[in-house]
Amino acid sequence: MAADVVSPYPFTVQDAQTVSHAFYIHPNESPSTVLVSPPLSEGNYHNWARAMRMSLMTKNKLGFIDGSIVEPPLNHPIYPFWQRGNMMVLSWIIKSISPEIAQSVLWRDKATDVWNELRERFSQADLFRISEIQEEIFGLRQGDSSISKFYTSMKTLWDELDILNPLPVCTCNPSCSCGALRKIGEERNKNQVVRFLRGLNDQYSGVRSQLMLLDSLPNVNRVFAMIAQQERQFVTENVAGANAMMASKETTMSKPNSSSTSGSAGNSGRYNSKKCTHCGKMGHTIEECYRKHGFPPGYKSRKYPPKSANCVHVNENDPAADPQDQPCKFGFTQDQYNTLLALLPSQDSQTASVNACSKIAITTKNGFQCLEDDWHS
């Protein structure tokens, strides 16, 4: 029994009471705290695991899931402190996964067992996810997105791909000096730069061609900074051009139209102080008022339809006038009047009735004849 108590376990009770130790539980720490959002589901294990490891590291509890803090013997004085820390981490993990997955690991006693089980269950499809990420990277285009948003989307895919397919690490002792790992890193950076440049819109074709002609491509973050600077230049030029066009348009609209008629139908009335005493409108006098003297032929108003107050009378005996082209008081042309006259009964027709009717031809001032009935009882 004494041999079990004096075990080679590396931690003591004094360590558990130290604030900087992993066994120490801060009074503000609660088992109901949700460390990661969104919770673990079937398709986000790698992102969730990365965020969960970062959160546990900040709380100095990462050793409970990576195996660096093993379980002490049951009769060791430090065991209660380990058990409390283990249950705290286990509660945080359960609170950070979906309810369906939480039901399958609820009865586990060790946080490290739950962590390893989740990794085995949800990280086995790495090759399929790697192929999906590669397809998304090759198919990603800027479109309507800004340079920053487009680069952020692509950078997220690159980071996830680096986690699933990391660069090899040299295990030689001493470390090899051939520079193979450095060349692999440069090759990956070149692929990222090419993918980023190929996904840009056509307006960046100039700077894209200049960068891809370089013998040694800069870092992908440096390339992003250069493209973002080019985007700001485009935005500045577009804003300056739009302001110049608006200023030119406003200047053109503010100038008075000297060729317009200074009557009630003209646009120049808004730029002078004349006022008509007949219609009360600004811009003309009563001597020029169309509403008093009549609108000219062919005049089209934006607000008021042309009126036929002064209808020009055409003398049919005048050889210089064309009756078909002139309006008349009743709105009919000469051809229409001739058609109407053809429909009327002739003067020689007699009507069988009790009263006799005689037709009297009367020539009107409009140049056609009407038949007036003269009834005799």
What region, left, alpha or beta, does residue 79 occupy, with left being phi > 0 and alpha being psi -120 to 50 degrees? Answer: alpha
Per-position DSSP letters for 355-375, written without gaps between them: SEEEEEEEE-TTS-EEEEEEE
| Integer Cα distance of 211 and 81 in angstroms | 59
| Integer Cα distance of 181 and 159 in angstroms | 18
- pLDDT computed for residue 262 by the predictor: 42
Peptide bond into 38 cis (omega under 30): yes
pLDDT in tens, the chain (377 residues): 444 444 478 888 888 889 899 999 988 899 999 999 999 988 788 889 989 999 999 999 999 999 899 999 999 999 999 999 999 999 999 999 999 999 999 999 999 999 999 998 887 657 888 898 999 999 999 999 999 999 999 999 998 888 888 888 888 888 778 888 888 989 999 999 999 999 999 999 998 999 999 888 899 999 999 999 999 988 887 776 666 666 666 666 655 544 444 444 444 434 456 778 888 888 788 878 888 887 777 676 655 454 444 444 445 455 444 444 444 444 567 787 788 788 776 555 444 443 443 444 455 445 545 444 444 44
The overall longest dimension of the chain from CA atoms, in Å, is: 154
Task: Work out the angle at residue 343's Cα, subtended by the Cα atoms of residues 341 and 344, and round it to the nearest 5 degrees.
Answer: 70
- pLDDT computed for residue 253 by the predictor: 60
- pLDDT computed for residue 359 by the predictor: 46
The amino acid at 292: K
Rounded to the nearest angstrom, the gap between the alpha carbon of residue 106 and the centroid of all alpha carbons in its chain is 44
Kindly report the pTM of this predicted structure: 0.52
Peptide bond into 80 cis (omega under 30): no
Both tokens of 137, joined, read 């990277």
Burial of 92 (0-12, 13-18, 19+ CB in 10 A): buried
- pLDDT computed for residue 251 by the predictor: 64
Per-position DSSP letters for 254-284, written without gaps between them: HS--TTS-SSTTSSGGGGS--B-TTT--BS-
In 213-346, where does DSSP find H-type helix? 220-254, 290-293, 334-343
| Integer Cα distance of 212 and 199 in angstroms | 13
